[in-house]
């Protein structure tokens, strides 16, 4: 448990209930302190944990909040489940050394199963590289016996895992937790650079190390730990709980999430789920405040192939510009000018700016001025559609690339291939450019821009431009002959529209809770009332791209937090991937609380 981050105590009281007497509270506080000392918790953190008072550093206290901005960043009150001796005891167990060690063992063991997915995998059931997921399913069955004995498990497209915990009230829409079983490969030449072997699941007292420790076995097992604990305590949900775990998120998600989402929709129908929680946004300290940032949106995505076809020949009599030279000129022109930086009003980052202005002591004055100007604008032309968007540009300047790219379509030249021999002119060269599309733009925005850039270069070199021409799908030839002396722009199958933006209102029009308010109130109850919960946007995409039909309430959210862990995502997809054990255990507690809150509160689900 990190310094200064209070945690929900089952001995505390709900804001809607009368507090316990001073005498009983003192006794319970002493019990809490005695139980937790084994984890080395500082006393002031324990006090904050028990009283639900946020004991964050004084620099994170709220001051100077703008009244107008505050009304646009209303924070959900702390939401704690009702008191129940059995369930409270089970929750207290999650704070013990015994549970920590058991949870470490289970996550370490999960990391040791090499559930790697590759871009060139063949069909499920035919390519033997899929078979490792049999081993992982067996490991989960051994590790979580109550889940596998009391929940219904259905295996979708062989390796997709769908667990169903039937609720007693069929009128309540299910809560759905997502994660993916697969991980990215570890290049052999990087293995010596790892502090601990990438498949060892090493625990050093602070972190569990290894591929998949963070992305995304930590989140998957945190949800399972919470469900297993609730099962052990005898809790029976009113609202059905679904656990949906794909197995190829890292290489498209089509075989896993693509089949799982269809199966769920066929069973329950469209708009049938109350809320979906998948991996995603986490915590960030900025402007003197601690923000919890569940992603309520995702940027779109579009991969584009650019191919240059030119005559070959002997290199001793070269053309003035080879196909590689022309491609280099084209890449230079593309990279010379980025997409515009602009912040649409519906972009969730606008909410973070409003929350910063409302609650953060170090919110930059220039940003405050520009935000105030935007909020008081009355005409559409004076808002984000103007060029340039001064608010977006200033926010990008202050926040750097991680902030800029939540307000700008990105482009990255990621793959290039061409040429065969030093004395042979290259006849064909191709690059792949990855784009992540900003709110307010579409894949067509990308197509139009690349066509505009390529046209004068094609003309300069006397080449024909073929830009995003329809493909003849009736042809049996899977690799049709490309036109010679051409620049060819082709859309790949990897194209995703900007995701629908999930509602992130603190309460419904009727005054009931919303899925977002339950998420926010649970988070603030666990970590303290000084935590500011605001929706955010993912620059990447998760398996939720397949689940849009099931609910409007989709949040990509990593609920674990460890103040000592620092920023970042635990080196995902690179050397020394790891996860803080405190972060992992906190995530278990969050899932435990969230399930109970969703079950007990009146939640209005917008369709």
Q: Enumerate the known binding-site residues for Zn(2+).
A: 180, 215, 250, 278, 573
User: CA angle, 299 as apex, 265 and 558 as ends, to 5°?
Assistant: 70
Mode of pairing for the β-strands spanning 175-180 and 275-281: parallel
Spell out the residues 6+ positions from residue 414 whose beta carbon is closer than 8 angstroms to its own.
432, 433, 434
- Rounded to an integer, what distance in angstroms lies between the CA atom of residue 278 and that of residue 264? 16
Check if the beta carbon of residue 517 is closer than 8 Å to that of residue 74.
Answer: no
User: If we measure between CA atoms, which residue out of 58, 71, 56, 73 comes closest to residue 3?
Assistant: 56
CA angle 581, 587, 589 (to 5 degrees): 110
Catalytic residue selected from 66, 182, 248, 530: 182
Confirm whether 154 is a catalytic residue: no
Q: Of the residues 66, 228, 248, 249, which is catalytic?
A: 249
Residue written as tokens 């990447």?
A: 540
Q: Are 420 and 297 in contact (CB under 8 A)?
A: no
> 3-state class of 83 per DSSP?
coil
Q: What is the DSSP string of 401-425?
A: HHHHTTSB-EEEEEEEEE--BTTB-
Q: How far apart are CA 559 and CA 168, in angstroms?
A: 27
Residue 185 exposure: Cα atoms within 13 Å on the Cβ side: 11
Mark whether 452 is an active-site residue. no
- DSSP letter for 305, please: E
Dihedral-angle region of residue 114 (phi above 0 means left; psi in -120 to 50 means alpha; beta otherwise):
beta
Catalytic residue numbers, as ranges:
182, 249
């Amino acid at each position: 448990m990190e310094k200064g981050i209070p945690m929900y105590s089952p001995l505390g009281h709900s804001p809607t209930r009368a507090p316990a007497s001073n005498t009983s509270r003192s006794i319970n506080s002493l019990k809490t302190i005695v139980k937790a000392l084994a984890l080395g918790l500082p006393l002031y953190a324990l006090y904050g944990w028990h009283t639900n008072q946020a004991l964050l550093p004084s620099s994170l206290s709220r001051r100077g909040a703008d009244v107008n901005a505050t009304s646009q960043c209303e924070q959900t009150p702390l939401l704690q489940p009702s008191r129940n001796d059995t369930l409270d005891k089970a929750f207290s167990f999650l704070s013990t050394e015994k549970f920590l060690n058991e949870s470490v063992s289970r996550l370490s063991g999960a990391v040791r199963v090499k559930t790697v997915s590759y871009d060139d995998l063949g069909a499920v059931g035919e390519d033997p590289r899929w078979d490792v997921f049999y081993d992982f399913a067996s490991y989960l069955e051994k590790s979580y016996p109550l889940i596998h004995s009391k929940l219904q498990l259905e295996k979708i497209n062989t390796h997709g895992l769908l667990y169903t915990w039937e609720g007693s009230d069929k009128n309540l829409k299910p809560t759905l937790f997502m994660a993916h079983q697969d991980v990215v490969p570890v290049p052999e030449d990087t293995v010596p650079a790892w502090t601990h072997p990438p498949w060892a699941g090493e625990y050093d007292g602070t972190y569990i190390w290894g591929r998949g420790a963070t992305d995304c076995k930590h989140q998957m097992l945190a949800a399972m730990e919470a469900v297993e604990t609730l099962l052990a305590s005898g809790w029976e949900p009113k609202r059905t709980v679904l656990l949906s775990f794909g197995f190829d998120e890292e290489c498209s998600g089509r075989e896993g999430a693509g089949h799982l989402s269809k199966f769920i929709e066929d069973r329950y129908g469209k708009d049938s789920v109350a809320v979906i929680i998948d991996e995603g946004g986490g915590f960030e300290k900025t402007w003197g405040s601690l923000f919890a940032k569940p992603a309520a949106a995702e940027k779109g995505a579009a991969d584009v192939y650019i191919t240059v076809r030119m005559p070959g020949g002997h290199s001793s009599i070269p053309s003035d510009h080879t196909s590689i030279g022309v491609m280099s000129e084209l890449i230079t022109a593309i990279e010379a000018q980025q997409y515009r930086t602009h912040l649409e009003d519906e972009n969730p980052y606008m909410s973070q700016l409003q929350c910063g202005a409302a609650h953060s002591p170090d919110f930059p004055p220039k940003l405050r001025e520009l935000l105030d100007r935007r909020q008081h604008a009355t005409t559409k032309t004076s808002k984000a559609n103007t060029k340039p968007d001064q608010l977006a540009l200033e926010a990008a300047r202050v926040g750097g690339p991680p902030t800029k790219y939540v307000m700008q379509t990105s482009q990255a030249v990621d793959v290039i291939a061409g040429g065969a021999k030093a004395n042979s002119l290259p006849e064909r060269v191709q690059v792949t450019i990855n784009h992540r599309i900003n709110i307010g733009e579409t894949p067509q925005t990308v197509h139009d821009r690349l066509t505009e850039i390529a046209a004068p270069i094609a003309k300069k070199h006397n080449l024909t431009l073929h830009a995003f021409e329809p493909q003849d799908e009736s042809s049996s030839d899977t690799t049709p002959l490309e036109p010679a002396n051409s620049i060819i722009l082709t859309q790949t199958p990897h194209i995703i529209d900007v995701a629908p933006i999930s509602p992130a209102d603190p309460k419904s029009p009727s005054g009931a809770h919303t899925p977002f308010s339950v998420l926010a109130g649970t988070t603030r109850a666990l970590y303290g009332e000084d935590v500011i919960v605001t929706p955010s946007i993912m620059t990447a995409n998760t398996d939720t791209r397949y689940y849009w039909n099931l609910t409007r309430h989709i949040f990509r959210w990593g609920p674990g937090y460890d103040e000592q862990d620092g920023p970042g995502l635990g080196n995902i997809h690179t050397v020394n991937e790891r996860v803080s054990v405190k972060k992992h255990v906190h995530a278990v507690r969050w899932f435990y609380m969230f399930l109970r809150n969703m079950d007990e509160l009146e939640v209005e689900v917008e369709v």
